[in-house]
Each structure stands twice: as C-alpha cells, then as structure tokens.
Amino acid sequence: MGSPDMTSVSVSFEVRRQLNSMRALGNYKSVDDLILHLLKEHRLSQIKKDSDALQAALSGLGGVDVDALVQKLGLSPFKE
C-alpha cells in the first residue's frame, strides 16, 4: 500500500483515498454502501464455495443404497 515508513495516519489517509476512489468508480452513495456491497459479495462467494463442496460430497454418495445402509447400522425407525 505504501512505503514501510508510513505512519498510521498516512496509512489511514491512503486507505480513505482508495476507498473513496472505489466508491466513485462504482457509483456508490457512500463508503459504507461500498463496504456493505463488498461484504455481501464476500458472503455470497463463501456460500457458493460451501455449496460446491457440498454438491461434490453428495455426488460421491450417488451409488450408496441408503436402505441397506440404514438396515446395517440398525438405525431404521421401522425395525421389525
């Protein structure tokens, strides 16, 4: 973001400048709106990644006979 000699004040000004530039480029009303949008995009990305992992795990279970597995485990609620 800058040189290692930057103070926390100069870093804050630099961050604020970059956020305002991003806000202007995206036509957001405020920096808060920009940050809320970025957080929403991040959360949606995480949900998509988790969903893809779950789909992959479920597709690996495609050949399992669930009834036979339940019987073998003795977990059937309809035991004889």
- Confidence at 47, pLDDT banded by 50, 70, 90: very high
43 vs 36: CA distance, rounded Å: 11
Among 5-9, 16-20, 25-29, 56-60, which stretch is predicted with the lowest mean pLDDT?
Answer: 5-9
> 14-40, pLDDT tens digit by residue?
889 999 999 999 999 999 999 999 999
At a CB cut-off of 8 Å and minimum separation 6, what does 15 contact? 1
- Confidence at 12, pLDDT banded by 50, 70, 90: confident
Residue 6: the pLDDT is 62
Residue 51: the pLDDT is 95
Report pTM. 0.58
